Amino acid sequence: MSDYILEMRGITKVFPGVKALENVNLKVRRGDIHAICGENGAGKSTLMKVLSGVYPYGTYDGEIYYEGKECRFTGIHDSEKLGIVIIHQELALVPMLSIAENMFLGNEQATGGMINWSVTRKRAHDLLRKVGLREDPDTLVTNIGTGKQQLVEIAKALAKDVKLLILDEPTASLSERDSQALLDLLLEFKTQGMTSIMISHKLNEIKRVADQITVIRDGQSIETMEREDVTEDRIVTSMVGRTLENRYPHRTPKIGETMFELKNWSVHHPIHPERQIIKNVNLTVRKGEVVGIAGLMGAGRTELAMSVFGRTYGVNITGEVFLHGKKADTSTVGKAVKAGLAYATEDRKVYGLNLIDHIKHNVTIANLPGVSSKAGVIDDMHELKVANEYRRKTNIRSSSVYQITGNLSGGNQQKVVLSKWLFADPDVLILDEPTRGIDVGAKYEIYTIINQLASDGKGIMIISSEMPELLGICDRIYVLNEGRIVGEMEAAEASQEKIMRAIVRGHAREEQLEAAS
Amino acid sequence: MTTETATPTVNAAKASARDAIKANVREYGLIIALIAIMIFFQIMTKGVLFYPVNLTNIVLQNSYIIVMALGMLLVIVAGHIDLSVGSVAGFIGGAAAVLMVDYGFNPFIAAVLCIALGAVIGGVQGYFVAYMKIPSFIVTLAGMLVFKGLLLWLLSGRSLGPFPVEFQMLSAGFIPDFIGPWTLVAPTLNANGGPTPGTGIVLHATTLLIGIIIVALMLFFALKSRRNRESHGYEAEPFGFFIVKNVVMAAIIMFLMYKFASYKGLPNVLIVMAILIAGFVFLTKRMTFGRRIYAMGGNIKAAALSGIMTERLTFYIFSIMGALAGLAGLIYAARLNQATPKAGLGMELDVIAAVFVGGASAMGGIGEVAGAVIGAFIMGVMNNGMGIMGINIDWQQVIKGLVLLGAVAFDLYNKKKA
Ligand SMILES: Nc1ncnc2c1ncn2[C@@H]1O[C@H](COP(=O)(O)OP(=O)(O)OP(=O)(O)O)[C@@H](O)[C@H]1O
Ligand SMILES: [Mg+2]
């Protein structure tokens, strides 16, 4: 008989119009890493919010037993007292506070309301050491990358004496390398006896670290598998309810003339203009072609895309954009859209969606003229038809197009962003991490949409941190490193090793340049 | 591909009457609150509130607040605030007086100039907010001080009036009765052979006719949009509920029209207001311009990345607000028949309160024109009712403050529950 630290029985949680969880059971063994898998909107995050008291006792049905005792949490402070700490899907750090301040937020090292800074700093330092983050505790969170922020979140959890750590898609926005580091950290905590629950869409990661895997589908717990019995395909089958033959849909590329061209593009940092972020980039996208941009986190891929799209990033931008062989003005978003460019952002909450409005309004906002008369009067019925059409096309799971996007599951929010830009009907579509936080089934659908767009004669540029994804769907791949293109390869000849080698070579060259100057 | 059918969906469910009522209670909660408040004061004032002359008064007393609330709604939905509107309205009233009284300008030309001046003032403030990125709170706080001071300077501390008669008609006039009065019950004659005031029922026939036209149009459009929904295969609310709702609305409109008709008919300023309200409802609900304001207020970064010219939009919004403040200033001055150095003092607070009572969110992105108008009437009816009851101004302030807080708290509570 194993020793269970947690048991959730018959959990049912209803939102107005949506039954998010129905009679879900979950048993977690002490000292395990327990993975939870499921499609977007299956109810994974909701289950963890029930467990951590975000949804307090009384707002759901069912029972929670922790350490053999029934728990009725009224809020997260109750669960935290017992050592249950959740790190949410979206990071919850205050950007303008320091690492140390963030780590002890709400848990300040204080006596009588007076914060003891030396203790705070000392403890922060020790905890950061533990998670392998070598940063000054006084550094502002806004100045460190996402990967490091995730580590700060974990250090913050450790500061609360965590016994059961819940991580909701911790590696979704991390680079390959940062993800590995984080998983290693989890494994190390495990040897120290900590239990963790991890939600992830990255099956290879799950396979690597998880002892047990519970699959949730449509708000119901389907099964719990043991590490030994698991293959990626088995998880997928269980998640989507049928077998999935291929991860990447097949396409025979029909590539035409050059559609989009970037010449000598250089961009400087908006706050430190002396720093050059993009260095003399030249690239092309042809008609019907899917072009990938590979690179490590911080390589400047998003910055490159945003600087092209209406100069929404950077200063002192120089270089030229050509669309259909003609020089194009993309100096404002409006002009870029008019020229036929679209950019679907990687950060759906901050840059992608109006979270307090519903799906319908979010889908049409980038192309209102498409649903209104010349005089600017919106045709309500037409708009509704469009919204429903894209909801179906991208398979957004919601009660209707009138669901507020802030209440959608993370993956479904991503699909709304995608719908918005599909409806804008651009010639060249730049997709920034289009499948971040998206389940395998939906990924396949998004790849299918991308393929469809390509065969419709559009040019597609994809930024992704998942190299297998780039290798699976692109025709050609550029490698960007420290703002410079350091490699270009046909997908047929590309491999993860080749991309990594290009990055390492680029890095070495960059150091040489620096030493020379 | 994924199991669409297994997803818990509700949109397919047949809308029951109960659902429709539930959905509509939230939507019409404000109207119901307004009616409840009116009935309450009707009882407390022993029937005075619904006197035709008093209803007319309520409209006149609140007209300038409502006009400004329309613009303020846009400002607040866009995620800003405008503290200067009271001072700007006062200043424009002063400018109108100087033009018409001191310089003998034609009232119509002067009015147009004044509204344009208001738009320019709003535009300048909007420029600082939109392009210089100075928080609107600060820009308009400065504007409030500047125009309060400029009004004092303009009038050199004196009151200026009276206005030409044509101009007074803006606030004191009523629409002419083209069809002629309609005598239901002849008034008793007094010794001179003239009618005794307060006896008999003589109705302003044109007002009644306008009421009937409005009701007919309302029903026509309600039916048309219902047909439209159905023909596109979308669920409409149950027919019974639809009928009841529209009949009630029609009855309320006709009741009010009857009240106006039994006094002097519709006030001119009510016509101005009605046209503006209809225009702003259309603007916010149906026009791309309005939609963009909501998108910007909801998430300005996402809006900008969707190709919305957020700066220009902000600039336009403040210009519109300024023009409306100008118009409100004219209405107020015409009503007092003079420009005073204290005109507009504190008006911005009533305007902002009306918008928030009407359900707008201080965070931006949420709010409706109808809500703001009803919010203004809720505050206005309370002012009027408490005045009639003889409640002291000090307690009136306390009660209004509590109502503002209570209304917003209730709204948030409801939203949380939903
Ligand atoms: N506050 C809310 N109000 C209404 N519906 C909600 C709310 N929160 C979640 N839902 C719905 O509950 C369902 C489950 O959402 P949840 O966030 O748990 O999904 P998830 O499994 O974490 O998905 P993802 O992988 O995309 O993050 C979804 O259909 C979502 O739309
Ligand atoms: Mg989730």
Q: With contact defined as beta carbons under 8 Å apart, do A452 and A245 qualify?
A: no
Largest CA distance in chain A: 72
For ligand 1, atom 17, the nearest C-alpha belongs to A409
Distance of CA A55 from the midpoint of ligand 2 (Å): 15
Backbone angles phi, psi at A315, to 5 degrees: -130, 175
Q: What percent of chain B has pLDDT over 70?
A: 92
Largest CA distance in chain B: 88
* Token representation of residue B225: 């949009």
Distance of CA A438 from the midpoint of ligand 2 (Å): 9
The answer to whether the CB atoms of B291 and A365 lie below 8 A apart is: yes
User: What distance in Å separates the CA atoms of residue A169 and residue A187, rounded to the nearest whole number?
Assistant: 16
Ligand positioned closest to the Cα atom of A439: 1
Q: Which of A19, A216, A349, A354 to mutate: most B Cβ within 10 Å?
A: A354
Instruction: Give A183-223 pLDDT, tens digit per residue.
Output: 999 999 999 999 999 999 888 899 999 999 999 998 999 99
The answer to whether the CB atoms of B10 and A399 lie below 8 A apart is: yes
What pLDDT was estimated at residue A266?
A: 95
Alpha helices in B232-368 (DSSP H): 239-261, 268-286, 288-298, 300-305, 310-336, 347-357
Q: Which of A23, A357, A413 to mutate: most B Cβ within 10 Å?
A: A357
| Residue A271 in this model has a pLDDT that exceeds 90 | no
Mean pLDDT for the stretch of residues A463-483: 92
Mean pLDDT for the stretch of residues A481-489: 92
**Helix H or strand E encompassing B407:** helix B393-417
The single-letter DSSP state of residue A366 is G
| Residue B5 in this model has a pLDDT that exceeds 90 | no
* Chain B positions in Cβ-Cβ contact with residue A384 (cut-off 8 Å): 232, 234
Of the listed ranges A97-111, A181-195, A240-254, B149-163, the least confidently predicted one is A240-254
CATH 1.10.3470 maps onto chain B at 28-173+270-417
What pLDDT was estimated at residue B12?
A: 38
What pLDDT was estimated at residue A297?
A: 74
| Residue A3 in this model has a pLDDT that exceeds 90 | no
| Chain position carrying tokens 């009639």 | B388
Nearest to A209, CA basis, from A229, A191, A186, A230:
A186
Bridge partners for B201 per DSSP: B185
CATH 3.40.50.300 maps onto chain A at 4-240, 244-340+426-517
> How does DSSP assign A276-321, residue by residue?
EEEEEEEEEEETT-EEEEE--TTSSHHHHHHHHTTT-S-EEEEEEE
More confident residue, B237 or A392: A392
* Token representation of residue B353: 């309160």
Of the listed ranges A446-450, B6-10, B166-170, B188-192, the least confidently predicted one is B6-10
User: What distance in Å separates the CA atoms of residue B233 and residue B227, rounded to the nearest whole number?
Assistant: 10
Instruction: Give B332-380 pLDDT, tens digit per residue.
Output: 999 999 999 999 999 999 999 999 999 999 899 999 999 999 999 999 9
Mean pLDDT for the stretch of residues B376-395: 93
Q: Which atom of ligand 1 is nearest to the CA of A48?
A: 18
The single-letter DSSP state of residue A201 is S
| Chain position carrying tokens 């699909």 | A415
Contacts of B248 (CB under 8 A, 6+ apart): none
Burial degree of A391 (CB within 10 A; 0-12, 13-18, 19+): buried
Instruction: Give A494-507 pLDDT, tens digit per residue.
Output: 988 899 899 888 88
Nearest to B83, CA basis, from B331, B293, B347, B407:
B347
| Residue A300 in this model has a pLDDT that exceeds 60 | yes
Contacts of A244 (CB under 8 A, 6+ apart): A233, A236, A237, A440, A441, A444
Instruction: Give B190-238 pLDDT, tens digit per residue.
Output: 777 777 766 778 889 999 999 999 999 999 999 998 888 888 777 777 8
pLDDT band at B417 (very low <50, low <70, confident <90, very high): low
**Helix H or strand E encompassing A488:** strand A484-490
Q: Which atom of ligand 1 is nearest to the CA of A42?
A: 21
The answer to whether the CB atoms of A400 and B365 lie below 8 A apart is: no
Mean pLDDT for the stretch of residues A445-461: 91
Burial degree of B307 (CB within 10 A; 0-12, 13-18, 19+): buried
The answer to whether the CB atoms of A378 and B287 lie below 8 A apart is: yes
What pLDDT was estimated at residue B20?
A: 65
User: Which residues surround ligand 1 with Cβ inside 6 Å?
Assistant: A 15, 18, 20, 38, 40-46, 89, 397-398, 407-412, 439
Q: CA separation (Å) from B362 to A183, A390, B374? A: 42, 32, 18
Q: In this structure, are strands B182-185 and A164-168 parallel, antiparallel, or unpaired?
A: unpaired
Specify the CATH superfamily of domain A244-340+426-517: P-loop containing nucleotide triphosphate hydrolases (3.40.50.300)
**Residue in B closest to A349 by C-alpha:** B302
| Residue B156 in this model has a pLDDT that exceeds 70 | yes
Mean pLDDT for the stretch of residues A228-254: 84
Q: With contact defined as beta carbons under 8 Å apart, do A383 and A371 qualify?
A: yes
Nearest to A145, CA basis, from A165, A175, A168, A120:
A175
What pLDDT was estimated at residue B3?
A: 36
**Residue in B closest to A370 by C-alpha:** B288
| Chain position carrying tokens 């800003």 | B80
**Residue in A closest to B227 by C-alpha:** A381
Contacts 24+ apart (CB under 8 A), B27-36: B29/B414, B30/B358, B30/B359, B30/B370, B30/B371, B30/B374, B30/B375, B30/B378, B31/B374, B33/B374, B33/B378, B33/B407, B34/B374, B34/B377, B34/B378, B34/B381, B35/B252
Instruction: Give B280-321 pLDDT, tens digit per residue.
Output: 999 999 999 999 999 999 999 999 999 999 999 999 999 999
Picking from A381, A397, A402, the nearest residue to B232 by CB comes out as: A381
pLDDT band at B9 (very low <50, low <70, confident <90, very high): very low
User: What distance in Å separates the CA atoms of residue A351 and residue B299, rounded to the nearest whole number?
Assistant: 8
More confident residue, A107 or A87: A87
What pLDDT was estimated at residue B21?
A: 66
The single-letter DSSP state of residue A105 is T
The architecture CATH gives domain A4-240: 3-Layer(aba) Sandwich (3.40)
Contacts of A50 (CB under 8 A, 6+ apart): A8, A11, A13, A21, A60, A62, A64
pLDDT band at B390 (very low <50, low <70, confident <90, very high): very high
The answer to whether the CB atoms of B302 and A353 lie below 8 A apart is: yes
How many angstroms from the chain centroid is the CA of residue B110?
24
Instruction: Give A5-54 pLDDT, tens digit per residue.
Output: 999 999 999 987 778 999 999 999 999 999 999 988 899 999 999 999 99
* Chain A positions in Cβ-Cβ contact with residue B306 (cut-off 8 Å): 333, 365-366, 420
What pLDDT was estimated at residue B26?
A: 62
Nearest to A159, CA basis, from A199, A117, A105, A115:
A105
What pLDDT was estimated at residue A106?
A: 82
Q: With contact defined as beta carbons under 8 Å apart, do A343 and B307 qualify?
A: no
Contacts of B64 (CB under 8 A, 6+ apart): B89, B328, B329, B331, B332, B335, B347
**Residue in B closest to A356 by C-alpha:** B298
| Residue B10 in this model has a pLDDT that exceeds 60 | no
The topology (CATH level 3) of B28-173+270-417 is ABC transporter involved in vitamin B12 uptake, BtuC (1.10.3470)
